[in-house]
Amino acid sequence: MYGTWEDSFGNLFNFKAVVELKMPGSVVEIGLKETEDGVYFQRFFCCFKPSINGFLNGCRPYLSVDATALNGRWSGQLASTTALDGHNWIFPVAFGLFESETNEECIWFMEQLKRAIGSPPHLAICSDACKALENVVKAVFPLAEHRECFFHLMKNFSKRWVKDLKDLPIAELVDSLRSKFMELYARRRNIGERLEGHTMLPIVVRHLNVLSRKLGQLKVKVGRMGEAEVTEITDRHKVIRHVVDFEQHTCLCREWQVSRKPCPHALAVITSRRNPKMKDYLHPYFSVSLFRLAYAGIISPFPDKSQWPSMNLGFKVLPPLHKRAPGRPRKNRIPGCLEGNGNKSRTK
């Protein structure tokens, strides 16, 4: 069904050929290690052209970088880069494969990502508080802000998306991810088409309307044109005063500037005005038009790998050089994802 594990690494070049044929402008890179004994697979990166356009044209400039261990015959790492659309849904941008989370591998992955997306203004990149990765982000994206605050929103990719794929042969793994991208984009494209007649995403507007009915502890005093003081009494009876500029869309708490949605202090000012329209205070990131742009690109359907172009490299791509892990070697074979747990009931 899948072919041999050894051949799957060479099949990545055939996969790359199909991607470049069906989705021109995609970035697919394969790193090899040449030795006297042969040419070995080392690393892989893939970012489809529809993902590039969708992120740059329809998503907030926030990226999360994460990696999860594979559990097949190759114990490498599957790295992923995800963004957020206007619904706060994860938007998969790119993925890659490498041996381990070393500084060299992380720099290579981030450099390929920069090739794909460039350096968008106001870019923020979050990770799991790994100092090494933070340094890599600063080296490759010197103008980007490194954050950790919304990393938990992105863990979905490794927990749900790839959980059942991590022991597949490598070529099948990357093609299965492409198939998931294709289905996700098509499903959300259909959602966007059903939002005809709306300017902003209804779920975002409804959420802010609900929050605006829970602001009894906030007192508003309007000052000069466009500005107001908002006094907040906390649960511990502490009095805090914020300045809101509802024309510049700023608040001293900085939540409005970061999330691009009005914070509670801003909502208190907005709802104190006559006939406010919530859409006037939301960033275009939350518009229906940008949501549609995020998923406008088509991730192309692929034939099975027997019909992929056969690339003549002039050499055989060997599986990665095995690095012995510390500790006692594992004796039991790792079952495939289609094999179940292998438990059988026995009678005495």
The C-alpha angle 138, 141, 145, rounded to 5 degrees, equals 70
User: Can you read off the two tokens belonging to residue 252?
Assistant: 């001293």
Return the DSSP state at 128. S
In the chain, the amino acid numbered 81 is T
In angstroms, how far apart are the furthest CA atoms of the chain? Answer: 87
**Scanning the structure block, which residue is given the tokens 């799957």?**
8
Structure tokens at 50: 């529809």
Helix, strand, coil content of the chain in percent (nearest 5): 35, 20, 40
pLDDT at 333 over 70: no
User: What confidence score (pLDDT) does residue 152 get?
Assistant: 57
- Sequence-separated contacts (24+) of 102-110 with Cβ below 8 Å: 103/132, 103/135, 103/136, 105/43, 105/77, 106/132, 106/133, 106/136, 107/136, 107/139, 107/140, 108/31, 108/43, 108/45, 109/43, 109/45, 109/65, 109/79, 110/65, 110/136, 110/137, 110/139, 110/140, 110/141
List Cα–Cα distances, 288 to 38, 114, 192, in angstroms: 52, 27, 7
What's the average model confidence in pLDDT over 220-236? 87
User: Alpha-carbon torsion 128, 132, 135, 141, what sign?
Assistant: negative
- Cα(85)–Cα(88) distance, integer angstroms: 5
Question: What pLDDT does residue 155 have?
Answer: 60
Backbone angles phi, psi at 23, to 5 degrees: -135, 70
On the question of pLDDT at 2 being above 90, the answer is no
CATH number of 5-194+293-318: 3.30.420
The structure tokens listed for 131 are 């100092």
Q: Are 94 and 76 in contact (CB under 8 A)?
A: no
Distance between CA 278 and CA 271 in Å, rounded?
A: 9
Task: For residues 146-167, give the mean pLDDT.
Answer: 67
- What is the percent of the chain where pLDDT is above 90? 60
Q: Where in the chain is the domain with CATH 3.30.420?
A: 5-194+293-318
Confidence of residue 150 (pLDDT cuts 50, 70, 90): low
Dihedral sign from CA coordinates of 198, 203, 209, 212: negative
Structure confidence by residue, pLDDT tens digits, 290-332 = 999 999 999 999 999 999 999 999 999 999 986 655 555 554 5
**Burial readout 71-100 (b: 16 or more C-beta within 10 A, e: otherwise):** ebbbbbbbbbbbbbbbeebbbbbbbbbbbe
63: tokens are: 């990226």
pLDDT tens-digit map of 7-58: 899 999 999 999 999 999 999 999 999 999 899 999 999 999 999 999 999 9
Residue 84, token pair as written in the block: 């957020």
**Between residues 192 and 165, which one has the greater pLDDT?**
192
The pTM (predicted TM-score) of the whole model is 0.85
Q: Give whole-number Cα distances, 317 to 29, 105, 123, 156, 301, in Å.
A: 14, 19, 37, 32, 26
Q: Whole-angstrom Cα distance, residue 4 to residue 6? A: 5
